[in-house]
């Protein structure tokens, strides 16, 4: 059994636009504040294979300008930007660069509804979210890096870098070489006792302008722990593999599942993997198996002991691939005859 851990710090260079109801809507000597899109490497789990934003995507923008003093004046506060083509962003009313300001600072979250369901401080970027229930791939939550713009760059489009703050999880199945030409079919698969309800927070201490994100499971009562199967989420596999190939990690069991970051429990309601499968040998004899084991038992070495660096949980912004290798431990026979072997004599002295 093995685990392949792929850590994907999924950041994307993107920029936004916004709409406000209260701040700096009148035109001044400065040009309009504009937001564009730089979609270079963004992997959006809720759209399998996508590296760009699409029709209907939204963001919420926050930010302030710094005036003499220095004085912070909020310019963007839960301002929604939307797109109809994934590249052109609109917001209203338009903001304009203030030539009297020494700098601007921007924060952002996506989708914009996250801003509505959270408390975001427009002058620090600190965030405290409301409760979020994870339901498959619909929780692709992005928080932007803190973006500071100096006066020399007024008039340029504002590029904002987004970070995934949930976890992305894949499960695969592999057939061990000792199964040879036997047919391996997966009949059911699930992961259970998964934390699915929680909140996230971002402190005001952005490290290197990156958001410092923490997650908190708010309800780990056994009745509220969740289960994911192969069809959980819009980009998971539609059907389980019925003839696993002899190629490492050839078949997906769960693909692109967005999950809440969490620590795997070492006692109580442990996060568990459950898999059932059949093996048909070359004589068409079918054997049925069902296995359950703890998620924390996956390790980062492809071997047979499951005892190396054990995974402790899912962290924010990381992409994990878990590979389950099925080994039937088939029964082989051999025979030989060995000679009688003399043994040392044993003595007892009676006194």
Task: Kindly report, residue by residue over 177-228, the tens digit of the pLDDT.
Answer: 888 899 999 999 999 999 999 999 999 999 999 999 999 998 777 777 899 9
Please provide residue 337's backbone torsions phi and psi, each rounded to the nearest 5 degrees.
Answer: -120, 130
Alpha carbon 331 to its chain's center: 41
Rounded to whole angstroms, how far apart are CA atoms 307 and 68? 60
Angle made by CA atoms 32, 38, 44, in degrees to the nearest 5: 125
Can you say whether the dihedral through the CA atoms of 229, 317, 310, 324 is positive or negative?
Answer: positive
Chain centre to alpha carbon of residue 178:
33
End-to-end CA distance of the chain: 60
Nearest CA to 257 out of 291, 295, 202 is that of 295
Cα 41 to chain center, whole Å?
Answer: 15
Between residues 46 and 63, the one the model is more confident about: 63
Average pLDDT over residues 133-153: 89
> Has this prediction a pTM greater than 0.95?
no
Of 141 and 89, the one with more pLDDT: 141
Which candidate, 126, 119, 144, places its Cα nearest to that of 18?
A: 144
Provide the pLDDT confidence category of residue 340 given band limits of 50, 70 and 90: low
Structural contact between residues 118 and 128, judged by C-beta atoms closer than 8 angstroms = yes
Q: In this predicted structure, which of 20-34, 171-185, 302-316 has the lowest mean pLDDT?
A: 20-34
As a whole number, mean pLDDT of residues 120-140 equals: 90
Residue 339, pLDDT score: 56
């Amino acid at each position: 059994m093995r685990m392949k851990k792929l850590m994907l710090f999924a950041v994307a260079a993107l920029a936004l636009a916004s709409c406000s109801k209260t701040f700096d809507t009148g035109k001044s000597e400065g040009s309009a504040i504009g937001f564009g899109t730089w979609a270079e490497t963004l992997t959006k789990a809720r759209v399998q294979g996508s590296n760009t934003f699409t029709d209907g995507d939204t963001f919420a923008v926050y930010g302030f300008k710094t005036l003499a003093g220095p004085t912070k004046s909020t310019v963007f506060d839960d301002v929604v930007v939307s797109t109809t083509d994934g590249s052109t962003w609109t917001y209203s009313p338009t903001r304009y660069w203030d030539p009297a300001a020494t700098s601007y600072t921007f924060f952002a979250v996506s989708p914009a509804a996250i801003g509505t369901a959270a408390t975001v401080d427009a002058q620090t970027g600190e965030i405290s979210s409301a409760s979020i229930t994870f339901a498959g791939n619909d929780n692709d939550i992005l928080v932007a890096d803190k973006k500071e713009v100096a006066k020399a760059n007024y008039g340029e489009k504002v590029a904002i870098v987004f970070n995934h703050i949930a976890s992305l999880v894949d499960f695969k199945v592999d057939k061990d070489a000792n199964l040879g030409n036997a047919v391996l079919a997966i009949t059911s698969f699930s992961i259970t006792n998964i934390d699915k309800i929680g909140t996230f927070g971002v402190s005001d201490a952005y490290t290197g302008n990156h958001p410092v994100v923490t997650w908190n499971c708010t309800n780990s009562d056994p009745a509220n722990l969740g289960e994911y199967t192969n069809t959980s989420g819009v980009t998971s596999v539609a059907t389980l593999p019925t003839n696993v190939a002899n190629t490492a990690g050839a078949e997906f069991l769960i693909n692109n599942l967005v999950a809440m970051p969490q620590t795997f429990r070492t006692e109580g309601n442990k996060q568990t993997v459950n898999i059932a499968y059949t093996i048909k040998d070359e004589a068409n004899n079918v054997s049925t198996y069902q296995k359950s084991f703890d998620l924390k038992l996956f390790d980062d070495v492809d071997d047979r002991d499951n005892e190396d660096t054990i995974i402790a949980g899912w962290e924010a912004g990381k992409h994990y691939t878990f590979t389950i290798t099925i080994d039937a431990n088939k029964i082989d026979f051999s025979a030989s005859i060995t000679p009688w072997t003399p043994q040392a004599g044993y003595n007892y002295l009676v006194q």
